[in-house]
Each structure stands twice: as structure tokens, then as C-alpha cells.
Amino acid sequence: MSRGNHTTKNGFTLVGFSDVPELQYFLFSVFLSVFFMSLSAHMFLIVLYRFSKNLHTPMYFFLANFSFLEICYISTVTPKMLVNLLSGDKSITFYGCAVQTYCFLLLASTECYILAAMAYDRYNAICHPLLYNITVNREACIKLIVGSWSIGLMIAIIQTFLTFSLPFCGPNKINHFYCDIPPIMALACTDTKFNEIITFVLVLCVVVGAFLLIMVSYIQITWTIVKHHSIRGIRKAFSTCTSHLIVVIIFYGSASVMYLRPKSSYGTDGDKFISLMYTIIAPLLNPFIYSLRNNDVKVAVKKLMPKIKIRTIIFYKN
């Protein structure tokens, strides 16, 4: 990575929410609570999947992998943001910033296609139930997960290399709470049109492409339900699909707004709010909408809780 003569030596400064110093402790409390709630919910789902035989299906295999991804995803951004809210030193090294950007891009890109894989699973379960066990077998599930991570890895390598190969001559202040592509490119002291084009193309392929796959799946699901199900079934299906689509729109919509813009609009305070939607809000909502409202999960919880109580009693007696 080529280095500029100022920024790369001293690293960067994450401005974060320093423009509202009177709210630092309040924001810290809110984001810390959201962080632990997200971690707890996703960890609980992984444990539930591991110890509940009735959840050993393709749908919950995807959800367990999705929860693991979300734990890594929120852990990439939130801890540094929390430290910066309480610390006067908001600096991050050049390579530390590059690593955070790489991890974020890897996980965010992978999440796009895991969400698409989950929609594909539901499409086959509802639209082609007789062929479901053949189409979405264990081998197919593993291939979809590996493929999603492979796409994320490729996107992360390309974007991180291109971004941190730019010369940065100062100022070194990133008007954001984590190292993200648009605000970093705004600091480059050279023409970034090539990088902007590559970013635009990759976002179209990853974010928009995955979003269209999800929308096509849900349209097919809705059409199948309307044709073959009762009024009660239609209401239930629409309720579930609507909940899922709300999270999908929050994640994909905010990400698209953030990345499909010209360089001239980078670095505004509004970017922080947009980024909060897909870095903090969506990971919090996902476990409750995708899993904890399902009847299968409720049954698994009822079966697992007595076992946990018995083991806890035995532990304390010993």
C-alpha cells in the first residue's frame, strides 16, 4: 500500500459523535446496551440450534450461520466506537483502519448473500415443497454458505487494496465512527474516479444483486401463498414476509444510499445516521424477526429451559 506523507504516518482520527460532547455518555450507554442485546440474542440462537434437534433443518442452519456472522459483524465496529465515546484519544492507526475496513467489507458483503440464500431456502420450502429436501440438502447449504463467504472475501480484498493504495496527504480526520470506504476516499489527495466506479460496480453486484434475488424470491412466495393457501395462512405469511422485508430494506436501502453516491456528498453528518441503520439497528432486529418469533424456536426454548435449570441446580449443589 502506497503511503501519503502525513496521514499514513500518523494514522487517522475517527471524529465519530464528538460534535455532540454533551451526549457522549448517553450514546455510550445506548450503544453498549444495544451491543450486548445483539450479542446475547445471536449467541442464544446459536446455542439453541446446537442443542435442539427440531431445529436441525436447512432454515435454522442458515440462521445459525447468520447469527455467527452478525456477532463478528457488530464486533468489528461497535467496540472501537464505544471506546472513542469515552476516550479523548480517537485515533486509529493506518493499518488498524485498513483491518477494520477489510473485516467490515468481508462481513457486510457475506451477509448480503447469506440473506439471499435464506430467501432462496424459503422460496424452495414454500413454492417447491416436494423437491425441497432434494434441492436444499446439506451439501447445497454448505455450498451456499461457502459461496457467500467467498464473494465477501473477494469484495473485501479488492476494495481494501484499492482504497488504502490511495495517497492521503491530510487532513486525517474521518467524519465517521468507523473506517468506511466513502469517508476514507474523501480524504484522498488524488482523483478517485476509478475507485468510485469500482465501488459502484461492486455495490451493484453485491447489494443490489442480492436484494433483487431476495425480492424475486418473496414475490414468488407471495404468489404461491395467495394461490394455494387459506385467508389465515395468507395473513400469517404476509406478516412474516413483511417483517423480513422491513429488515432487508433497512439493511440494503441504507447501504445503497451510502455507497451509490458521488464523492462530493461524502463526509456529511447524515452518513453516520445512515450507517447506524445497517451496523447497529439491523443486527439488533434480525434475531427477533428472523428467529425468535417462529413457533419452532418457541418450542425449542420450552424444551431447552428445563434442561438448563436442572444443570444449573446440579452445578450449584456440587
pLDDT of residue 226: 78
Question: In this structure, what DSSP letter does residue 148 have?
Answer: H
pLDDT of residue 109: 92
Which residues 6+ apart lie within 8 Å of 121 measured at CB?
58, 59, 62, 136, 141
Is residue 267, in this structure, part of any structural domain at all? yes
Contact between 287 and 45 under an 8 Å Cβ cutoff? The reply is yes
pLDDT of residue 169: 80
CATH of the domain at 225: 1.20.1070.10
| Bridge partners (DSSP) listed for residue 92 | 12
pLDDT of residue 102: 96
pLDDT of residue 157: 95
Is residue 218, in this structure, part of any structural domain at all? yes
pLDDT of residue 3: 46
Question: How many helices (H) does the chain have, and how many strands (E)?
Answer: 13, 3
Mean pLDDT of 18-31: 84
Residues of the domain holding 90? 7-317
Cell numbers that stand for 266 in this block: 461524502
pLDDT of residue 267: 54
Which residues 6+ apart lie within 8 Å of 70 measured at CB?
38, 42, 111, 283, 286, 287
Question: In the predicted model, is pLDDT for residue 276 greater than 60?
Answer: yes
Question: In the predicted model, is pLDDT for residue 71 greater than 90?
Answer: yes
Is residue 70, in this structure, part of any structural domain at all? yes
Burial grade of 44 (CB within 10 A; 0-12, 13-18, 19 or more): middle
Is residue 47, in this structure, part of any structural domain at all? yes
Question: In the predicted model, is pLDDT for residue 188 greater than 90?
Answer: no
Amino acid occupying residue 71: I
| Bridge partners (DSSP) listed for residue 13 | 91, 173
Instruction: Report the share of the chain in percent with pLDDT over 90.
Output: 29
Query: How big is the CA angle at 256 (ends 212 and 81), to the nearest 5 degrees?
Result: 130
pLDDT of residue 168: 86
Question: In the predicted model, is pLDDT for residue 51 greater than 60?
Answer: yes
Is residue 1, in this structure, part of any structural domain at all? no
Is residue 30, in this structure, part of any structural domain at all? yes
pLDDT of residue 65: 93
What is the number of structural domains in the chain?
1
Is residue 103, in this structure, part of any structural domain at all? yes
Q: What is the dihedral of CA 253, 258, 260, 261, to 10 degrees?
A: 130
Average pLDDT, the chain: 83
Is residue 209, in this structure, part of any structural domain at all? yes
Mean pLDDT of 221-250: 73
Mean pLDDT of 70-75: 94
Mean pLDDT of 142-159: 94
Contact between 295 and 236 under an 8 Å Cβ cutoff? The reply is no
Q: Using one digit for the tens of pLDDT, what is the confidence trace for 227-237?
A: 776 666 667 66
Kindly calculate the radius of gyration of the chain based on its CA atoms and give it in whole angstroms: 22
pTM: 0.86
Contact between 109 and 151 under an 8 Å Cβ cutoff? The reply is yes
Question: In the predicted model, is pLDDT for residue 29 greater than 70?
Answer: yes
Question: In the predicted model, is pLDDT for residue 258 greater than 60?
Answer: yes
pLDDT of residue 42: 92
Question: In this structure, what DSSP letter does residue 93 have?
Answer: -
Three-state SS annotation for 56-78: CCHHHHHHHHHHHHHHHHHHHHH
Which residues 6+ apart lie within 8 Å of 130 measured at CB?
none
CB atoms within 10 A of CB 289: 18
DSSP-derived 3-state class of residue 194 = helix
Q: Using one digit for the tens of pLDDT, what is the confidence trace for 285-294?
A: 888 887 766 7
Residue of 13, 26, 157 whose CA lies nearest to 80: 13
Q: Among 42-51, 53-62, 97-106, 265-274, which range has the highest average pLDDT?
A: 97-106
Question: In this structure, what DSSP letter does residue 294 have?
Answer: S
DSSP-derived 3-state class of residue 192 = coil
